[in-house]
Copies of this chain bind each other. A is one copy, B any other.
Amino acid sequence: MAADSHSHVPALLETIGAEVSSHLERLLEPPSADVAPIYEAMRYSIAAGGKRFRPALVLLTARMLGADDAAAMPAACAIEMIHTYSLIHDDLPAMDNDDLRRGRPTSHKVFGEAMAILAGDALLTEAFVVLSRPNARLSADQQIRVVHELASAAGACGMASGQVADLQAERDPSCPFGVETIHRLKTGRMIEAAVTMGAVLGGAGAEDLGRLRDYGRSVGLAFQIADDILDTQATTDQMGKTAGKDAAQGKRTYVSQFGLAEAKRRAADELALALAALRPFGDRSHSLADLARFCVERRA
């Protein structure tokens, strides 16, 4: 495999990201003046951008299985809305107390704490509005399964508990949560869900769904280990958030717990597992394979 087999991924992510952003913008037009204030706050955080990595996983998985983007776009937008809600709430003074996110003032800095909490709540809730809208391209069964994948990954057995564990580990060094538990819950489950949502939308049977779940799980962990490595190396400018902040806050990272060499080794192992899970899909899976490589080898 050529070292630069993933060199086309940034351009692919940029194209997908632009499409997702434009759909999100339309989804978040306020339908009436009564409700315009919360939409303004929701749109602010959504417009702050980011790589739209989770939506790309939804769309590329669905595409691989032959579904068209119109079938998968609501789910791609919904997972980005939930990811964005989690960033708004994580940044709150009671949590990580961050002033900057993706290079812009955080939601509570601009709109105040009450509105930031409510804009997060509303993004989380509207994700399920988007997923449950009548959609002629999907069966109701597919829709409800997609709801289940996303809600399960974001809820008390996933992202929400990941943030609890992250905060506890930071505030109490004797807290028993290892970095792998934190990563699996806080980011891993959502990245896995992006892939399984795409799989359900593409009509995957149980066996393919299982393979893609394995791929998603490995990519999720590899992605987060790579993030930990980047946090120790990148400049604030490259990261769009305060670099080295995780370490400064005493957060448990893969690097702080196991060292840089072991972190790199483990990211490579997870990448190998992700690629192995894709093998039965043959050539169709090259985009997902390159995306996994890019996750581990990216510079920002």
Which A residues are within 8 Å of any B CB, using their own CB? Answer: 30-32, 34-35, 37-39, 42, 85, 89, 92, 94-95, 112-115, 117-118, 120-122, 124-126, 128-129, 131-133, 139-141, 143-145, 147-148, 150-152, 154-157, 160-161, 163-165, 167-168, 177, 181, 185
Contacts and interface: CB of A to CB of B under 8 A. Distances in A.
A252 to B, nearest CB: 14
A270 to B, nearest CB: 20
A114 B34 contact: no
A284 B167 CA distance: 52
B121 A121 contact: yes
A43 B88 CA distance: 25
List 9 A-B pairs, minimum CB-CB distance, nearest first: A94-B113, A125-B155, A128-B151, A132-B148, A140-B140, A122-B160, A35-B161, A140-B141, A122-B156
* Interface class of chain A by DSSP: helix
Contacts of A120: 121
Nearest to A86: B121
A39 B126 contact: no
A170 to B, nearest CB: 10
Contacts of A161: 34-35, 37-38, 122
Contacts of A131: 147
Contacts of A30: 156
A106 to B, nearest CB: 14
A140 B155 CA distance: 21
A152 to B, nearest CB: 5
A125 B156 contact: yes
B122 A94 contact: no
A28 to B, nearest CB: 8
A122 B160 CA distance: 6
Contacts of A114: 92, 94-95, 167
A154 to B, nearest CB: 5
A88 to B, nearest CB: 11
Nearest to A111: B164
B144 A140 contact: yes
A92 B117 contact: yes
